[in-house]
């Protein structure tokens, strides 16, 4: 039996669910298809769920700051109460350490200034007043523990940090995604789990629907790829990759959980922090642990994955490298013999800036390249994708006449061509998880 919808969204992670919510609010009959058994169960569940506004570009920073306001008013934004509980925004603020590679954050502060985002400059005396466990020694460039240069101290210490209060992290990223599912369902959205898309159908250069593994055909004039690390697989299934200048790939990443130094209440005092001097970021974790990931410095090999359904989910020497680099900044930390953590995939574009766009196949849309640094932007992704889809379906050629989207909390406009599949590689990007 065939089923018909206004839009099919492939993927029920944080991005796919927010798109469903925003389209459903506009009266669209939507269905999300996901091969897993619940919303947010894929790479979203493994997200560090950090809410930050610092990016390497003005548009990226503006997008993140606009999203912040929705996270800060989550329950009112969703207009629905999830019986399973509501995800909480733990507002700790964000600290970014100044160092050689980020040019002491001069560009970051200029972007924050331009957007009117409040911040403070901290020297290390002030940093240690809050984080007595941090050492100010500079070790740049980051190295792996087996390198003879590992731990080599530079002459000058780190000068300090930028701290801004508009940030923190979400208590449970998978729960936040389920919150969105509940909110979307309140507007009539539907979800189909344990279903893998096996075919994307076209009629006269127009997408017409999909088929899932059990043979069910689902029809719709709009199909949206929000498949996370599987995005390139879906794009190839749709036959639209050749029409993209910017493409996506799946990248394996490890995030470690390390106990905080004994006697220091990091779970209460800590905040998400970025440290490009050692090539790591961290945030507090339940049980007075520190969650730590790599900022993709040159010394860390890139583990690109050809099949996102088959990859090593065990911790490797990469986990130990991150732990040792973190120990340079936090000398009192203890490194367990068996390091625990999470291994999952990022969905990465060529310049680490996502694609939010139409495609060369009429009715087929892209919300891809999002893993690693776009969880925090999900509310805005839902809004801009809903606007882009409606305007394109009503005849606007976004490639020729790019949509300008108004950010209501900042009273400014961003050009959605910034996220085009046809853009040149953006050289202002960090080319890392920092975005």
- Establish whether the linkage from the previous residue to 141 is cis, with ω within 30° of 0: yes
pLDDT given at position 372 = 84
pLDDT digits (tens, 9 = 90+) for 37-70: 999 999 999 999 999 999 999 999 999 999 999 9
Residue 17: name the closest of 117, 87, 66 by CA: 87
pLDDT given at position 186 = 98
- Domain 3-86+172-247+351-419, CATH class in plain words: alpha beta
Q: Which H or E run includes 389? A: helix 378-393
* Crossing angle of the two packed helices 106-115 and 58-71, in degrees rounded to 10: 60
DSSP states along 54-117: --SSHHHHHHHHHHHHHHTTHHHHHTS--TT----EE---EEEE--TTTGGGHHHHHHHHHHT-
Q: What superfamily would CATH give domain 94-165+248-349?
A: D-Amino Acid Oxidase, subunit A, domain 2 (3.30.9.10)
Residue 357: name the closest of 247, 258, 279 by CA: 247
Going from N- to C-terminal start, the domains of the chain cover: 3-86+172-247+351-419, 94-165+248-349
Half-sphere exposure of 113 (CA within 13 A, CB side): 8
Residues 6+ apart with CB under 8 A from 155: none
Residue 170: name the closest of 71, 96, 42, 80 by CA: 71
Rounded-to-integer distance, Cα 41 and Cα 174, Å:
6
List 401's β-bridge partners, or say none: none
pLDDT given at position 2 = 66
In this prediction, the residues of the chain whose per-residue pLDDT falls under 70 are 1-2
pLDDT given at position 371 = 81
């Amino acid at each position: 039996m065939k089923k018909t919808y206004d839009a099919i969204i492939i993927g029920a992670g944080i991005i796919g669910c927010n798109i469903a919510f925003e389209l459903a609010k506009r009266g669209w009959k939507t269905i999300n298809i996901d091969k897993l058994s619940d919303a947010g169960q894929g790479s979203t569940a493994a997200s560090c769920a950090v809410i930050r506004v610092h990016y390497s570009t003005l548009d990226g920073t503006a997008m993140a700051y606009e999203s912040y306001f929705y996270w800060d008013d989550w329950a009112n934004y969703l207009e629905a109460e999830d019986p399973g509980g509501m995800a909480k925004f733990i507002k700790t603020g964000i600290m970014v350490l100044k160092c050689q590679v980020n040019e002491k954050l001069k560009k970051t502060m200029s972007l924050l200034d331009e957007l009117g985002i409040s911040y403070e400059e901290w020297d290390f005396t002030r940093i240690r007043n809050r984080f007595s466990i941090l050492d100010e020694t500079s070790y740049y460039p980051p190295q792996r523990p087996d390198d003879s240069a590992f731990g080599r101290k530079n002459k000058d210490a780190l000068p300090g940090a930028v701290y801004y209060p508009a940030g923190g992290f979400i208590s449970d990223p998978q729960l936040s995604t389920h919150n969105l599912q509940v909110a979307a369902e309140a507007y009539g959205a539907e979800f189909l789990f344990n279903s893998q898309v096996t075919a994307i159908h076209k009629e006269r250069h127009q997408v017409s629907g999909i088929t899932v593994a059990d043979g069910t055909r689902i029809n719709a004039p709009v199909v949206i790829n929000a498949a996370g690390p599987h995005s390139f697989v879906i794009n190839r299934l749709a036959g639209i990759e050749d029409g993209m200048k910017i493409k996506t790939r799946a990248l394996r990443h490890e995030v470690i959980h390390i106990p905080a130094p004994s006697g220091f209440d990091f779970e209460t005092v800590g905040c998400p922090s970025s440290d490009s001097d050692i090539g790591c970021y961290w945030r507090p974790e339940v049980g007075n642990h520190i969650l730590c990931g790599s900022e993709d410095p040159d010394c860390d090999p890139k583990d690109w994955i050809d099949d996102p359904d088959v990859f090593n989910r065990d911790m490797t020497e990469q986990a130990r490298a991150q732990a040792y680099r973190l120990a340079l900044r936090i000398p009192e930390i203890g490194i367990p013999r068996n390091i625990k953590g999470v291994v999952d995939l990022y969905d990465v574009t060529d310049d680490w800036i996502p694609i939010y766009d139409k495609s060369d196949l009429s009715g087929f849309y892209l919300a891809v390249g999002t893993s690693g640094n776009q969880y925090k932007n999900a509310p805005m992704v839902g809004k801009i994708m809903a606007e882009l889809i409606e305007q394109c379906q009503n005849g606007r050629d976004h490639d020729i006449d790019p949509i300008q989207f108004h950010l209501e909390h900042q009273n400014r406009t961003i050009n959605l061509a910034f996220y085009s599949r046809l853009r040149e590689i953006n050289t202002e990007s960090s080319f890392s998880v920092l975005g």
